[in-house]
Amino acid sequence: MSQMSVFAETTTEGATSDMTTSIRSLYERYPGTLLNERFIPDAAMFSKVIFFVWLIIGVVGNSLSAIVWIMRRMRRHNSSAIYVGSLSVNCLVFLVMYLFNALHSHYGVHLYNLPVVCQVFGVLFFVPQYLTQLLVLAFTVDRYIVVCHPLRRQVFCHPGRAIKVRRTIL
């Protein structure tokens, strides 16, 4: 009895024989997260557990940070409080979007598979990621002016200007 080869024999025209139609790609046999769950189940379980641990820590930490920095007495004379509060809220929005993305990619829960919703989610998922760098840049420039040019602090680094910069970024 002869054994079938995994590789298909090709004819002179370059077409493969009918034996290869039953051979599928590894990603076709194990779609989505089934590949990791099949071959590295401990790593897949660790990834799922640690995701929720970091999500809870991030939501609690950013919520507390936003509450503290957005309080009226914190932002009254401190332009940095506006930037840090905005950064905390931005990170909360990102964590919610990342939760939806992780549910889709790691757990197979399809929440945004509708044609328009999928495109809108793609935009909403990346906006907080890029907005973080802009907020950190504005915060850094604010701190640079306060430390290196203290006499210009009253002109450039007051809460009203920070609110205008934040609105421009958003």
Q: Which domains does the chain have, with CATH numbers?
A: 30-169 (1.20.1070.10)
- CA–CA separation, 129 vs 15, rounded Å? 47
* pLDDT value of residue 22: 63
pLDDT of residue 20: 53
Query: Average of pLDDT values for 136-156?
Result: 87
Query: Do residues 82 and 135 make contact, with C-beta atoms less than 8 angstroms apart?
Result: no
Answer for the pair 124, 96: CB distance below 8 angstroms, yes or no.
Answer: no
Cβ neighbours around 87 below 10 Å, total? 22
Question: What is the value of pTM for the model shown?
Answer: 0.71
CA 100/CA 121 separation, integer angstroms: 9
Beta bridge partners, 10, equal 16
Mean local confidence (pLDDT), 93-119: 86
Does residue 40 register a pLDDT over 80?
A: yes
Render the burial of 28-62: b for 16+ CB within 10 Å, e for the rest: eeeeeeeebeeeeeeebeeeeeebeeeeeebeeeb
Whole-number average pLDDT of the chain: 82
